[in-house]
Amino acid sequence: METLEFQSEARQLLRLMIHSVYSNKDTFLRELVSNASDALDKLRLETFRDKDLVADTSDLHVAVEVDREARTLTVRDNGIGMTRDEVIGLIGTIAKSGTAEFLQKLKESKDAASQDLIGQFGIGFYSSFMVADKVTLVTRHPRAEGVRWESTGEGTYTIEDVADAPQGTSVTLHLKPADPEDHLADYTSTAKITEIVKRYADFITWPIRLAKEDGAEPTTINSRKALWARPASEVTEDEYAEFYRHVSHDWNKPLETIRMHGEGVFEYQALLFIPSQAPLDLFMRERKRGVQLYVKRVFIMDDCEELMPEYLRFVKGVVDAQDLSLNVSRELLQQDRQIQLVRRRLVKKVLSTVKGLMADKPESYETFWREFGGAVKEGLLSDPDNRDAILDIASFASTADAGKPTTLAAYVERMKDDQQHVYYMTGDSRATVENSPHLEALRAKGFEVLILTDPIDEMWVDAVPGYRGKTFQSIAKGQVDLETEEEKARAQERQKDFADFLEWMSTTLTDRVKEVRLSSRLTTSPACVVGDAHDLTPTLEKMYRAMGQELPPVKRILELNPDHALITGLHKAFADRGGEDASLVESAELVHGLALLAEGGDLPDPSRFVRLLAEHLERTL
């Protein structure tokens, strides 16, 4: 037996490993099982490459054994094993190269898990010392003698030759004394071991067998049913539905199943599901995304935010990578090119699948958009690279059909020949928009208007420049040019006639409005209020204030219908009596209040409005 010393930093490194890197002690078993699975893969590959290699490959597996009395846990495989030099070079010198620099970076980092450390072989193996005060490793390579390595994780380790060691590697953990206050960390419990294996290694190719405490035959505790690794022709719809329930905890059948296989420099497989019903927490801040990450069928993490953007958070499923740049604890992904590449491909595949539903399964598409459209539209703000693809699959309520939403492509096809804008209006509800005076002229002239009532609609319409060469135009903001040349000439004449009156109205209501002007968008209502092209809408103002953001009051524009009897009468009264008449001033206030109420807005002083209206009605009776 030979006793060797770790380098001087090893003890400190182990202490940091145990207390700073892993947030969940259960991960030690994941690391050991993952190493065992890798050893089995390597042996199978080596026997293909080297026909002279003498090794037993008839029953490759991982075995887990528990001894409650001795408080030991053993993970054993009959894979490739290691030579003495490999044990010393790979496991015995965990602190070999660059350790001092690594320790310094680890100390300086507030998030220890942010360091890219997984490339140093042995780091995962040493997570065993979180739960064990001594670790014994026995291993044999098919071409070498057996070796026993043992350490308490302090300053030294021992190594000796073992003549009768079986093929492969066994790691025996001499568990720390039981913590009576932490019954969940009882690693001598077969139920606990089974739960960890099923969580982290259920889909590993090789059988993982757990020895029974009563001496009965070991039982295989992992399902090995990685559907994404099987040919699509061999997987039934019932199997997909069962697996979807497993990853989503949703007892409904998925709306659509998506399979992907990436080859080349970076290989991965993905099995994704679009649910048929939105979860209750879809728009809650605490909700999680639904894509799980595996590496070589070993579970790494739930809710992998790096693989699926926020606006597709409802997508469930699995991504299994052959190799991935992980941090030391495998609990956070590094932001590298591979992850970004996979993410882009997954997003494009999901969006293209939804587009396929539009063409091939319209009922499924309608279900999808009804359940998830509000979330998907968030991508119009957060994902400019896929903005066109999102617009292609979006649907909106429209004045063209009271019961059926329309796509933008269908809207553009129905546009008038000389129409340059996609007209829309935002509001709290469809009824509010349809009853708005802003719609009157467009409805009279046969223009279709999109009715946008989701809160996110208030934001994306200003961020998206247009669709297929057509710009988005709010009918409640800026000028809406609907007039013919003849109508424009008539409007100019009216502008001259009303010039003094408009100036008086603007001065009278200067505390309430930015400007008073004649309208080209009204046919039956006396007045309406509109915003400048780049003003916030009243609804958006309320949203910002609800989030605690203080905004200066936004004055809007009051537009008057010169053909309405109320406006012509007020114009004539102004010409006859002048602008000093108190009754006319009150009438101007009432016109502005009526315009606010017509669009569902809030009056600045409701009690004053009611009093003025009552007094004016009283004088007319």
- What is the reported pLDDT for 182? 67
Of 13-27, 199-213, 249-263, 357-371, the range with the lowest mean pLDDT is: 13-27
Q: What CA–CA distance (Å, rounded) separates 562 from 560?
A: 6
Q: What CA–CA distance (Å, rounded) separates 22 from 330?
A: 9
Q: Known binder of ligand: residue 574?
A: no
Q: Residue 159: count other Cβ atoms within 10 Å of its Cβ.
A: 19
Q: Indicate if the pLDDT at residue 97 is higher than 50.
A: no
Indicate the Cα dihedral angle 601, 539, 479, 567, nearest 10°: 0
Percent of the chain at pLDDT exceeding 90: 49
Q: Known binder of ligand: residue 329?
A: no
Q: Known binder of ligand: residue 602?
A: no
Percent of the chain at pLDDT exceeding 70: 88
Contact (CB, 8 A) for 341 and 379: no
Domain-located, residue 380: no
Q: Indicate if the pLDDT at residue 498 is higher than 80.
A: yes
Domain-located, residue 481: no
User: How do strand 470-474 and strand 421-426 relate by DSSP bridges?
Assistant: parallel
Q: What CA–CA distance (Å, rounded) separates 188 from 128?
A: 14
Among 457, 425, 459, 428, residue whose Cα is nearest residue 441: 425
The pLDDT mean for the chain works out to 85
Q: Indicate if the pLDDT at residue 75 is higher than 60.
A: yes
Q: Which residue has the tokens 């070993």?
A: 298
Q: Known binder of ligand: residue 372?
A: no
Q: Known binder of ligand: residue 399?
A: no
Domain-located, residue 384: no
Q: Known binder of ligand: residue 35?
A: yes
- What is the reported pLDDT for 80? 93
Domain-located, residue 480: no
Q: Indicate if the pLDDT at residue 130 is higher than 90.
A: no
What mean pLDDT comes out for the span 329-346? 70
Q: Indicate if the pLDDT at residue 95 is higher than 60.
A: no
Q: Known binder of ligand: residue 120?
A: yes
Contact (CB, 8 A) for 345 and 262: yes
Total domain count for the chain? 4
- Reported confidence tier of residue 98, pLDDT bands at 50, 70, 90: very low
- Reported confidence tier of residue 241, pLDDT bands at 50, 70, 90: very high
Among 212, 211, 208, residue whose Cα is nearest residue 221: 208
- What is the reported pLDDT for 209? 96
> Which long-range CB contacts under 8 A does 45-51 form with residues at least 24 apart?
46/80
Helix, strand, or coil (residue 78): coil
* Parent domain of 499: 486-531+544-620
Contact (CB, 8 A) for 113 and 76: no
pLDDT in tens, 506-559: 999 999 999 999 998 899 999 999 988 888 787 787 777 777 887 787 889 999
- What is the reported pLDDT for 112? 39
Where does 398-537 have alpha helices with state H? 408-414, 430-434, 440-444, 457-463, 485-508
- Reported confidence tier of residue 340, pLDDT bands at 50, 70, 90: confident
- Same domain for 176 and 44: yes
Q: Known binder of ligand: residue 125?
A: yes
- Domain boundary residue among 204, 220, 236? 220
- Reported confidence tier of residue 108, pLDDT bands at 50, 70, 90: low
Crossing angle for the helix pair 485-508 and 582-598, nearest 10 degrees? 120
- What is the reported pLDDT for 277? 93
Q: Known binder of ligand: residue 492?
A: no
- Same domain for 232 and 190: no
Q: Which amino acid is at 150?
A: E
Q: Known binder of ligand: residue 123?
A: yes
Q: Facing residues of 4 across strands?
A: 157
User: How do strand 395-398 and strand 401-407 relate by DSSP bridges?
Assistant: antiparallel
- What is the reported pLDDT for 412? 95
Q: What CA–CA distance (Å, rounded) separates 64 from 210?
A: 5
- Same domain for 208 and 130: yes
Domain-located, residue 492: yes
Q: What is the CATH number of the domain that holds 43?
A: 3.30.565.10
Q: Indicate if the pLDDT at residue 328 is higher than 60.
A: no
- Same domain for 345 and 399: no
- Same domain for 498 and 468: no
Where does 118-227 have alpha helices with state H? 190-201
- Domain boundary residue among 220, 243, 274? 220
What mean pLDDT comes out for the span 382-399? 95
Residue 569 or residue 114, greater confidence: 569
- Same domain for 357 and 236: yes
Using CA of residue 431, residue 433, residue 439, residue 444, what is the dihedral sign? Answer: negative
Query: 418-433: string of b/e by CB count within 10 Å (b at 16+)?
Result: eeebbbbbbbeeeebb
- Reported confidence tier of residue 400, pLDDT bands at 50, 70, 90: confident
Contact (CB, 8 A) for 566 and 526: yes
Domain-located, residue 152: yes
Q: What is the CATH number of the domain that holds 526?
A: 1.20.120.790
Q: Known binder of ligand: residue 269?
A: no
What mean pLDDT comes out for the span 483-487? 81
Return the H-helix or E-strand segment holding 477: none
pLDDT in tens, 181-201: 666 678 999 999 999 999 989
Contact (CB, 8 A) for 291 and 299: no
Query: Based on C-alpha coordinates, what's the Rg of the chain?
Result: 35
Domain-located, residue 372: no
Q: Indicate if the pLDDT at residue 325 is higher than 70.
A: no
- What is the reported pLDDT for 183? 62
Q: Known binder of ligand: residue 561?
A: no
- Same domain for 494 and 454: no
- Same domain for 166 and 96: yes
Which of 291-295, 334-338, 361-365, 440-444 holds the top average pLDDT? 361-365
620's CB contacts (< 8 A; 6+ apart) are none
Q: Known binder of ligand: residue 31?
A: yes
